[in-house]
Amino acid sequence: MSGTRFHARLLERRSIAGLAREMRRIEVDRGGIPLMAPKGVSLAILVERVPTKAANIIKQEILARGGDLATPWSCADFAADEVDVIVIGNLVTLRSLIAKLYRQTVYHLPEFADALQGVLVRTVPGYLPVARQPARQGQVVEETLDDLHGGRIPLGPGGRARGVPELLPPARLPDLRWDFGRRVWGVAVLPAPGAGSEAGAGLEAVLAAAQAAVAAGVLVLELGAPPGAEGCLAALAALRQAWPDRLLAVPVRSPEEARQALAGGADILRAEAGLAPDLAPLVEAAGGHLWVGLPSPPGVPVPEGPPPQDTPRGRDEEDWAEGMAALSRQAWQVTVALFDAGLSPGRCILDPGPAPWLPPGPAARTLTRRLRELTSYGPPVAFSPWPGPVAAMAAASARALCGGAAFLRADARTWPELAPALPEIEGLLE
């Protein structure tokens, strides 16, 4: 018996990142690694109290994808109304199954997909969730290689995602058309009102900054302080009177501040992800919008200085890629929580912050695919360029907007210089 020609060994690395590192070690083409690594992670997941009719459908679907569903005998002859099952498959198989079940409306199949995906989100580092509302993504082509890596969103010129839903119009402006993909929705962050604070500005300074931003074409004016800050509500009223055709955004830190802002005429509330579900019923009842700031994931630096000048390589690149996968999972969890709390999908905006957007290069292309995942969850995505030279901010904004972002948020003082770049950026979106 000859066993000397080949040497075989069992790989211990059964995570996506571990398998990806092993593939890079043997010099697998980098374009194929994201497609192949998830196939090497196989799982068995117990799901209890599944309707028997649903279990039989799920078994057919997962068998067609190379996986299996372990079921009791009572499932075959419908002897019981509900059964416990074990889902068996690799990540590619399970992700494809989840995408299919989300498109079915019978026998609680979307809820089964929720439960299955919830386990993957919590336990599998690097897993990219499937959008919960695929009917809002445009045509889904499950079995292509692009879909296996999450690129299931039809793309237009410049790589812009198609099929992403428009936001609902705010209650105050029912005829508003967002026209995402044809225009840039600029957001100007105004000075914090309240002359009594060290960093505050008087009402005249706030209005002057707003005037300059409006002249530069900005469509959303954001106050630099929450309703509890000195002069905020007075500034909100003055802005509403001066520019009734512009949308007003206000940062909030509690449900009480949210009520004050909405009563004062705010169209958009900005809140961190942890607070957002508590605000969902208030925003839905008022017909406004909720701008949700996602926390910076591990491995992705926060903007405490200038952005990195070089594309990350090696271990840094892995950290960025893993961080973006974490960001995608956070976005999925946030949108599920918001929709469960009663917020319409058309009333939410996701803001991943400036950190994930990279300079051009191989890693940037990989992460752009990850960022496109955010657009598949329903809400439009916002981009805040890293503060710096205007030319660099404009270049980063062009990449972000062509890569799927719908809003461009920057300090009001920057907009007069940033505005001349907008026509060229909008031309890239067409």
The answer to whether residue 26 sits within a structural domain is no
Q: Is residue 95 part of a domain?
A: yes
Q: Supply 64's token pair.
A: 């067609």
Q: Are 145 and 80 members of one domain?
A: yes
Whole-prediction pTM value?
0.69
For 142, the token pair is: 């499950």
Residues 118 and 174 in one domain: no
Question: What is the number of alpha carbons within 13 Å of residue 179 lying toward its C-beta?
Answer: 12
Gyration radius from the chain CA atoms: 24
293 & 309 share domain: yes
What is the per-residue pLDDT for 400?
A: 76
Is residue 183 assigned to a domain? yes
Instruction: Supply the angle between the helices 276-286 and 255-263 in degrees, to the nearest 10.
Output: 20
Q: Does 149 share its domain with 163?
A: no
Last residue of a domain, one of 110, 136, 154: 154
Assess contact for 110 and 101: CB atoms under 8 A: yes
Q: How many CA atoms lie within 13 A of 176 on its CB side?
A: 21
CA atoms of 361 and 383, how far apart (whole Å) = 19
Which of 123, 154, 185 is a domain's end point?
154
Q: Is residue 7 part of a domain?
A: no
Q: Which of 202, 201, 206, 174 is nearest to 188 (CA)?
A: 206
Report DSSP state, residue 271: E
**167 and 314 co-located in one domain:** yes
- Residues recorded for the chain: 430
Q: Tell me how far apart the alpha carbons of residues 330 and 326 are, in angstroms, rounded to a whole number.
A: 6
> Dihedral, CA atoms, 100, 137, 156, 404, nearest 10 degrees?
-120
Say how many C-beta atoms besides its own lie within 10 A of residue 122's C-beta.
Answer: 10
What is the three-class DSSP state of 144? Answer: coil
Within this chain, do residues 294 and 418 fall inside the same structural domain, yes or no?
yes
Please provide residue 71's backbone torsions phi and psi, each rounded to the nearest 5 degrees.
Answer: -130, 155
**Alpha carbons 413 and 94: distance in angstroms, whole number:** 48
125 domain residue, yes or no? yes
Enumerate helices (H) and strands (E) in the chain, giving the number of each. Answer: 16, 11
Q: For position 379, which CATH number holds?
A: 3.20.20.20
User: Can you give the pLDDT at residue 160?
Assistant: 41
Same domain, 271 and 412: yes
348: closest CA among 397, 306, 407, 304?
A: 407
What percent of the chain stands above pLDDT 90? 33
Of residues 191, 225, 220, 195, the one with CA closest to residue 208? 191
Task: Give the pLDDT confidence score for residue 177 in this predicted structure.
Answer: 86
pLDDT of residue 369: 55
State the pLDDT at residue 3.
54
> Within a domain: residue 11?
no
Q: Which domain holds residue 190?
A: 159-429
Residue 184 falls inside a structural domain = yes
Last residue of a domain, one of 154, 177, 201: 154
Q: What is the pLDDT along the chain (430 residues), one digit of tens a residue?
A: 455 676 666 676 567 778 888 888 888 887 778 778 888 888 889 999 999 999 999 999 999 999 999 999 889 888 889 999 999 998 889 988 998 898 888 899 999 998 998 888 888 877 778 877 644 333 333 333 334 344 343 344 444 444 444 688 999 999 888 877 677 889 999 988 875 444 456 888 899 999 999 998 899 999 999 998 888 999 999 999 999 999 999 999 999 999 999 999 999 999 999 999 999 999 999 999 999 998 776 555 554 554 455 444 444 555 666 666 677 778 888 888 898 899 987 899 998 876 555 544 444 554 455 556 676 677 888 888 877 788 878 877 877 777 678 899 999 988 888 888 877 777 666 5
* CA angle (414 as vertex; 412, 417 as ends), nearest 5: 130
Question: What span, in angstroms and rounded, lies between the C-alpha atoms of 226 and 125?
Answer: 36
How many independent structural domains does the chain possess? 2
The Cα–Cα gap between 198 and 179 comes to: 39
**Cβ atoms within 10 Å of 315's Cβ, excluding its own:** 10
Say yes or no: 135 and 167 in one domain.
no
Residues 61 and 171 in one domain: no
Same domain, 317 and 182: yes
pLDDT of residue 368: 53
Q: Same domain, yes or no, for 272 and 214?
A: yes
Indicate whether 4 belongs to any domain: no
